[in-house]
Structure 1
Amino acid sequence: MKHPKFIKNQVKQEIQLGCVSIFWMSFPTVAIFYWEIKGHSKLYDNIYKNYQGLSGVLVSIAGFLFFTDMCIYWIHRSMHHKNIYKHLHKQHHLFKIPTPFASHAFHPLDGFLQSLPYHIYPFIFPLHKVVYLSLFVFVNIWTISIHDGNYRIPGPLIHLINGAAHHVDHHLYFNYNYGQYFTLWDRLGGSYCYPTALLGKGPHEDVRK
C-alpha cells in the first residue's frame, strides 16, 4: 500500500468492482451449469464405470489445466488489443499493484470470457463432476493467489509456474506474462518476462528505495 502506484481507496474499489462483476457473471455461469447438469456435457458420476477409471481422472485433470491455460492465454492477450482493451480489460489494469481483491475485479464480460474455457472443457472432454467443481474452486483460489503480492516461488519452478511475481509484472508493464498457471504459452508467444521482483527490482524494492 506504500507503493506510489497503489491508488487511493484501491481495496474498496477492487471490492466494489469485484462484487458487481461476480453478480453479473453469475447469470451466464449458472445457465451453463444448468445446461451441464441436464446432460448436455460429458460430465459423469461414476469413476470406475466410465473413462478408464482413476487414471482417466488424472489425465482429465492434466488436460483441463493444459486446455484452459492455453485458451486463457489467447483470450487474455486478445483483451489487450487496442480496440478491445479500453472497453473491457482496462478496468482490471487500473490496479497496477494488485491485492487479492483485484483477482475478480473485472468488467463482467471480460471476466466471463476468461472463464469460458473452464466451462467449454467438459463439453469437449469427459470430466468427473466432483473433479470439475473442485477444479473450478481451485481456479478461483489460483486467481486470488497470483494477485496476492507473495512473490515466493521454489527456485526450480520459477521458469515453469506463473505466480504472483510474474503476474504483478503483467499489471505493471502490460505486455508480459498473460498466462494463468504456467509460463509455456508466454514463452511460445514471445511474451514471457522473468519476474522483476525476483531480480530485486520489483514493487517491494521500489518502496525500500
Structure 2
Amino acid sequence: MDIVLEVWDTFLGDRLYATLVPASLSSSITFPSDSVFNGTLSFFGQPDSYVYEPATKFFRLEPSKYAYLSAWPRDNIYRQSVSFFLITWIFGLFIYFICASLSYMFVWDKTTIKHPKYLKNQIRLEIAQTMRSMPVMSILTVPFFVAEVRGYAKLYDSVSDEPFPYYSILQFPLFIAFTDFFIYWIHRGLHHPLVYKTLHKPHHKWIMPSPFASHAFHPVDGWAQSVPYHVFPFVFPLQKFAYVILFGFINFWTVLIHDGEYVANSPVINGAACHTMHHLYFNYNYGQFTTLWDRLGGSYRKPNDELFRRETKMAEQEWKKQTKEMEAILKTVEGTDDRSYVNEETAKKNL
C-alpha cells in the first residue's frame, strides 16, 4: 500500500500535515545528542531526516515543498497511521457506494422488495450499518497497512524481484486459494452460537440482501473476514500493484455476491446464488470464492434450480418454499425473529 500512500501524500497528505502539524511545532524542542528521545524520534521519523524514495520503479511523484514542512514527515508512524485510517475509510466508502449503486441500478432485481422476507426500509438500514462499521473496520485494518509500508511484508515491485519465473501470474490463484480457505473457517466460526448473535447476526439481518448489504457487518465481523487478505503478503510475496488490484477486486466481489443476479450456476464458483442460500438458510455456503471447502466441510448447498429461471426466481411458490424452510432454520439458529418485514401480512400467510 506504499504506492497508494505516496499518491495520497503527493496530492493531499503533504499539504494537510504541513497545515495541521507544521514543523514549527517541534522547532523549539531540543534534546541532548545522546538522549533516548532522539532514538525514539528517529524510529518514528523526523522532518530533517526524511529523504524521498519512490514507492515504485514504474513512476516517480516528486514531492512538493510541503513534504518537508510538517513535524510529521512522510515516514512518521503516527502520520502513516492517520493517513491509512482516512484512506481506508474514505475510499472504502467511495468504492462501496459506487459499486453498490451501480449494481442496484443495473443488476439487482427490484422485484426483491416484494419478497416476504425483505425488511422495512432495508436499504437505508444496510447503508446505516455500513456507515457505523466502516470507520471501526478501518481503524482495525491500519496496523496491517502500517506494517507493510514499514517493510515487514513481502511486497515486491518489479518482475525482476519476483521469487521465481511466472510467480507474478501464480500469485493470483495462490491468493484466492489462501484467502478462500481461511475465510471459510473464520466465517463458519462466526456462526458458532457463542459469537453468532453478537458478531455475525447483524449481517444476517438481511435475509434477501441488496448490493448495499455487501459491507453491512458488525465491524469486528467485517474485519475478521478481511484478515486473510492482509495476512497474505506477510506470508507470501505479492507484487505491489497486484495487491492494490486484489484489494479492489475483493470489494467488487463482495458486492457481486449480494447483487441477487444468479448467473454463476457452477459447482465451483461461490457466486450470488450460493450466497443467497447462505443468507436464506444460514448454515450453508460459508466460502468466499469457491465451493471447495463447503464441499469438504459438509456445508455446501446447491442453489435452488428455480433461481436460474426468471419466471420462477421471484414466483410466489418459490417464495413460500423459501420462507417455510428459512423460518424453521431461523428458530434453531436465532430463536425469536426480531426483524420487521416490509409486508408482515404476506410473511404470515406464507408461514
TM-score category (smaller protein): over 0.9
CA distance in structure 1 between the aligned counterparts of 2:311 and 2:270, rounded to whole angstroms? 18
CA distance in structure 1 between the aligned counterparts of 2:259 and 2:317, rounded to whole angstroms? 17
| Equivalent residues of 1:166, 1:177 under 8 A apart | yes
CA distance in structure 1 between the aligned counterparts of 2:123 and 2:286, rounded to whole angstroms? 23
Post-superposition CA distance 1:82-123 (Å, at most 9, x none): 011011000000100001111100000000000000000000
Aligned residue pairs, count: 205
Instruction: Report SS of the residue matched to 1:182.
Output: coil
Bigger mean CA offset, 171-180 vs 189-198: 189-198
**Residue in 2 that maps onto 1:149:** 260
Offset at 1:133?
1.2
1:96 paired to 2:207: yes
Offset at 1:208?
7.5
1:45 paired to 2:157: yes
**Residue in 1 that maps onto 2:315:** 205
Q: 1:124 to 1:208 in 2, by over 3 A?
A: closer
**Residue in 1 that maps onto 2:247:** 136
| Equivalent residues of 1:92, 1:107 under 8 A apart | yes
Matching residue's letter, 1:205: A
**Residue in 2 that maps onto 1:172:** 280
CA distance in structure 2 between the aligned counterparts of 1:200 and 1:188, rounded to whole angstroms? 31
Offset at 1:17?
0.4
CA distance in structure 2 between the aligned counterparts of 1:114 and 1:188, rounded to whole angstroms? 20
Offset at 1:28?
2.1
Instruction: Report SS of the residue matched to 1:82.
Output: coil
| Equivalent residues of 1:3, 1:207 under 8 A apart | no
**Residue in 2 that maps onto 1:14:** 126
| Equivalent residues of 1:146, 1:163 under 8 A apart | yes
1:125 paired to 2:225: no
| Equivalent residues of 2:162, 2:168 under 8 A apart | no
Offset at 1:63?
0.7
**Residue in 2 that maps onto 1:160:** 268
Offset at 1:49?
2.7
Offset at 1:46?
1.7
Larger radius of gyration: 2
Offset at 1:200?
8.3
**Residue in 1 that maps onto 2:294:** 186
CA distance in structure 1 between the aligned counterparts of 2:196 and 2:247, rounded to whole angstroms? 26
| Equivalent residues of 1:15, 1:102 under 8 A apart | yes
Offset at 1:30?
2.4
Matching residue's letter, 1:204: M
Q: Which runs of 5+ in 2 are unaligned?
A: 1-112, 320-351
Offset at 1:205?
2.8
**RMSD (Å), alpha carbons:** 1.8
Q: 1:18 to 1:202 in 2, by over 3 A?
A: farther
Q: TM-score, length-normalised on structure 2?
A: 0.56
Instruction: Report SS of the residue matched to 1:133.
Output: helix
Q: 1:208 to 1:183 in 2, by over 3 A?
A: closer
Residue in structure 1 matching 2:148, options 36, 40, 58 = 36
Offset at 1:142?
0.4
Q: Which runs of 5+ in 1 are unaligned?
A: none
Q: 1:202 to 1:147 in 2, by over 3 A?
A: farther
CA distance in structure 2 between the aligned counterparts of 1:149 and 1:25, rounded to whole angstroms? 25
CA distance in structure 1 between the aligned counterparts of 2:311 and 2:199, rounded to whole angstroms? 30
Q: 1:187 to 1:200 in 2, by over 3 A?
A: farther
Instruction: Report SS of the residue matched to 1:148.
Output: coil
Percent identity (aligned): 50
Matching residue's letter, 1:175: N
